[in-house]
Structure 1
Amino acid sequence: MTIMNINLINYISEHEGFGINTDVIDTNILNLAVVIGVLIYYGRPLLGDIITNRKTTILKNLEDAESRFQQAAENLSFAKEQLQKAKIKSEQIRNQGITIAKQTANKIITSAENDIKRLKETTLYIIKLEEEKCLSEVFSKLNDLAFSKAIEKIKQNLNPSLQKKIVLQNTEKLSTFKR
């Protein structure tokens, strides 16, 4: 395959003016060596400056990246601390909410118990008043009934002579008081 490539190059160079000259003296190797030496001698500081600038830029970029990394790490640490504080605060708020809810529930229960107790007392008082009122009405009706029966009995048994006797007795009693 290599022989074929060389033959192809020789064919092209003979017919089209392109080719590789393998004669060392004819190729001017000394001229090329001098040109390469001059390039190395004078190009070295230029390449050195370019490489130094590139190195400086890379180092600066690395330092910037390291600084940004440190800043990001600090921000992450700060954010983790804030998250932890927020979790603690939310737990405290939740616990306070539970405590307040329990206290409120206890207050409501106590208030309801007091209201029930007061309602029972009020109901018992009203029942007692109604009992007394009913008893008073019964006593009043019994008294009226007894009085009316007594008057009827007196009217039936009272005759003029008995009436005169009662009036005289009461008059004598009044006169003894007068003295």
Structure 2
Amino acid sequence: MNDLFLFNNSFQDSFEINTDLFDTNIINLSIVLFVVIRFLGEALSDTLENRKQTIIDSLQNSNKKVYIVKNKLVEVKSKLELTQTEVENVYSSRFSYFKTRKQTLLEQVQSYLTQLQSLQKDSIEGQTKKVLSDVYDTTISKTFDTLYINLASAFKKSGNFSNKKKAITYSYLKRLN
């Protein structure tokens, strides 16, 4: 074995492995590793377990929130459908109401137009009757005036003019009223 080393013998003699020290180092290292693994392993295991539990709790909490949100979504969808149904009902009832109201208003307008036409016809007939009455009154009045003048001139020629004039005037006034 000495041939393998390129060192001379004096160095080899001075360099020796102390196996007692090596055994002690191995024992110390195993104790340290045991203590480290024992205490740090437990702490690491506890930390990992806590982290695992935190993650599980977060997932469960998230699942609960998802469940709540899904329930709220279903509730909102049902309310939306109910609201849409109500809106459609209100729309159809309002449409029906306005259609009926329109028909009623058209009938009222037609009635008013009929009344206006009747009133116009009555007004024209009334005005026609008034004009005819005025023409009749004027004609009768002029006729009586002419008759009075003719009678007056005829009675002037005769002797009893003043008594006959009073009788004719009285008769004329009576007919006018």
Q: Per the shorter chain, which TM-score range?
A: 0.5 to 0.7
Secondary structure of 2:16 counterpart: helix
Once the two structures are superposed, residues 58-108 of structure 1 have per-residue CA deviations (whole angstroms, 9 ceiling, x without a partner) of: 011101110111001100111111122122222222332232222222222
Tell me how far 1:111 sits from its aligned partner: 1.8
Q: What is the CA RMSD across the aligned residues, in angstroms?
A: 3.6
In 1, the alpha carbon distance for the partners of 2:33 and 2:132 equals 143
Tell me how far 1:30 sits from its aligned partner: 4.3
- Aligned residue number for residue 74 of structure 1: 64
- Aligned residue number for residue 123 of structure 2: 133
- Aligned residue number for residue 30 of structure 2: 40
Counterparts of residues 1-179 of structure 1 (less than 5 Å): 26-41=16-31, 43-146=33-136, 152=143
In 2, the alpha carbon distance for the partners of 1:42 and 1:133 equals 129
Structure 2 segments unaligned to the other structure (5+ residues): 155-163, 168-177
Ranked by relative contact order (alpha carbons within 8 Å, sequence separation 6 or more), the top structure is 2
Structure 1-normalised TM-score? 0.63
Tell me how far 1:143 sits from its aligned partner: 4.3
Off by >6 Å, runs of 4+ in structure 1:
none
Structure 1 segments unaligned to the other structure (5+ residues): 1-9, 15-20, 168-179
Tell me how far 1:33 sits from its aligned partner: 2.6
Tell me how far 1:144 sits from its aligned partner: 4.5
In 1, the alpha carbon distance for the partners of 2:28 and 2:130 equals 147
In 1, the alpha carbon distance for the partners of 2:24 and 2:101 equals 111
Q: How many residues align?
A: 145
Structure 2-normalised TM-score? 0.64
